C-alpha cells in the first residue's frame, strides 16, 4: 500500500558537497610597510643632518621589502612590485645616509680646521708682537727701530729687520773683495765689495731660506750693482732655518770705482716685504 501511495523509489540523489574552504587573504603588510619606510627614509636622506634616520629607515625598508618579495613568491602576498619598490627605496636611503655621513664629517672637519687656524693665527700674532718688541729693544742702542717688516725701511750696517714669524735679518758692513780669475759679474776697473747677510729664526716654525733674494745698487745714481759669482760667494741661502737657529751667506757686488755707497736690498720671501741697508764702503 505504501508503495502505491508513494510510487516506486528511484536511486537516491547524492548530497551536495559542503562549501570548499576559502583561499587565505593576501598578506601584503610587509610590502606596504617597506614602501612607506622607504619613502620616508629617502626624504630624510635629502635633509641635512638627518642621515641617521635615513639609515635606520633604509635598513628596515630593505629587510621588509625583501621579506615581502619572498612572501609574494610563495603566493602569500600579491604586492611583489610594491615590496620590490620598498626594498629599492630602502637601498637608496642607505646610500643617502652614507653620503650624509661623509658630508657631515667633512663639514665638521673643515669647521674644526678653521677654528684651529684662527687660534694658531692669534697665537702667532701674539708671538710676533713679542718678537717685534724684542727687536725694537735690541736696536734702541743703535738709535734705529728695525720695525716688523710690514713696511720698507732703510737700515744701517748691523741693524736688524724683524719680520712676522720671528724672522730677523741683518747685513754686515761691506768689505773689499777680490774676485778670482774665473768669477762672473765683475768688470775690470770696478770695485768689488762683500757683505754677509744673517738670518735668525726666533719663531716656532722652520723658515724657507731658499726664497731669500739679495740685490744691490751703488753710487748716488743708484745703478744696479752686479752680483759676483765665484767659488767663494754668490751661492746664497738654501734649505730651511730651524727655530732657534741662525744662517748666513756671503754676497759680493760689482760697483763703480767712485761709488761712495752701497744699498743692499733683502727680501726674505714672497710673503715678506723687502728692506734696504744703506752701507758705506
Q: Is 197 helix (H, G, I), strand (E, B) or coil?
A: strand
Smallest Cα–Cα separation from 78: which of 15, 30, 14?
A: 30
pLDDT at position 1 is: 40
* CATH annotation of 159-279: 2.60.40.1240
Q: Where are the domains of the chain?
A: 28-109, 159-279
Distance of alpha carbon 215 from alpha carbon 275, whole angstroms: 11
Cβ(79)–Cβ(72) below 8 Å: yes
pLDDT at position 150 is: 44
pTM above threshold 0.75: no
- Helix or strand run (H / E) with residue 245: none
Rounded to the nearest 10 degrees, the angle between the axes of helix 51-73 and helix 29-45 is 160
Is residue 142 packed enough to be buried (19+ CB in 10 Å), middle (13-18) or exposed (0-12)? middle
pLDDT at position 215 is: 92
pLDDT at position 144 is: 41
Provide the residue-wise pLDDT of the chain in tens; the chain has 281 residues. Answer: 444 444 555 555 555 555 545 656 778 888 888 889 889 988 988 888 888 888 898 899 889 889 888 888 888 888 888 989 988 998 998 898 899 889 888 888 888 888 888 887 777 667 666 655 655 554 444 334 444 444 456 899 999 999 988 999 999 999 999 888 888 888 888 888 999 999 999 999 999 998 899 999 987 778 888 888 988 888 889 899 999 999 999 999 989 888 888 999 999 988 888 899 999 87
Cβ(272)–Cβ(165) below 8 Å: no
Amino acid at each position: 500500500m505504501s508503495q502505491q501511495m508513494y510510487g516506486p523509489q528511484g536511486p537516491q540523489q547524492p548530497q551536495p558537497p559542503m562549501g570548499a574552504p576559502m583561499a587565505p587573504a593576501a598578506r601584503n603588510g610587509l610590502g606596504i610597510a617597506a614602501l612607506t619606510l622607504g619613502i620616508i627614509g629617502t626624504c630624510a636622506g635629502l635633509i641635512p643632518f638627518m642621515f641617521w634616520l635615513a639609515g635606520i629607515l633604509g635598513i628596515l625598508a630593505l629587510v621588509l621589502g625583501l621579506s615581502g618579495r619572498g612572501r609574494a613568491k610563495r603566493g602569500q602576498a600579491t604586492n611583489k612590485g610594491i615590496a620590490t619598490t620598498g626594498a629599492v627605496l630602502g637601498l637608496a636611503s642607505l646610500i643617502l645616509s652614507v653620503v650624509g655621513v661623509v658630508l657631515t664629517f667633512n663639514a665638521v672637519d673643515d669647521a674644526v680646521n678653521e677654528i684651529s687656524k684662527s687660534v694658531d693665527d692669534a697665537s702667532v700674532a701674539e708671538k710676533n708682537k713679542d718678537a717685534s718688541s724684542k727687536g725694537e729693544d735690541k736696536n734702541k742702542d743703535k738709535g734705529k727701530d728695525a720695525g716688523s717688516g710690514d713696511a720698507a725701511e732703510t737700515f744701517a750696517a748691523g741693524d736688524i729687520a724683524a719680520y712676522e714669524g720671528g724672522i730677523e735679518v741683518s747685513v754686515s758692513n761691506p768689505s773689499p773683495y777680490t774676485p778670482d780669475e774665473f768669477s762672473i759679474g765683475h768688470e775690470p776697473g770696478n770695485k768689488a765689495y762683500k757683505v754677509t747677510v744673517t738670518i735668525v729664526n726666533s719663531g716656532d716654525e722652520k723658515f724657507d731660506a731658499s726664497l731669500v733674494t739679495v740685490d744691490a745698487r751703488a753710487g748716488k745714481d743708484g745703478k744696479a750693482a752686479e752680483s759676483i759669482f765665484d767659488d767663494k760667494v754668490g751661492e746664497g741661502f738654501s734649505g730651511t732655518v730651524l727655530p732657534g737657529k741662525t744662517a748666513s751667506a756671503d754676497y759680493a757686488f760689482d760697483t763703480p770705482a767712485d761709488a761712495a755707497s752701497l744699498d743692499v736690498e733683502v727680501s726674505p720671501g714672497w710673503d715678506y716685504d723687502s728692506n734696504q741697508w744703506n752701507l758705506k764702503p
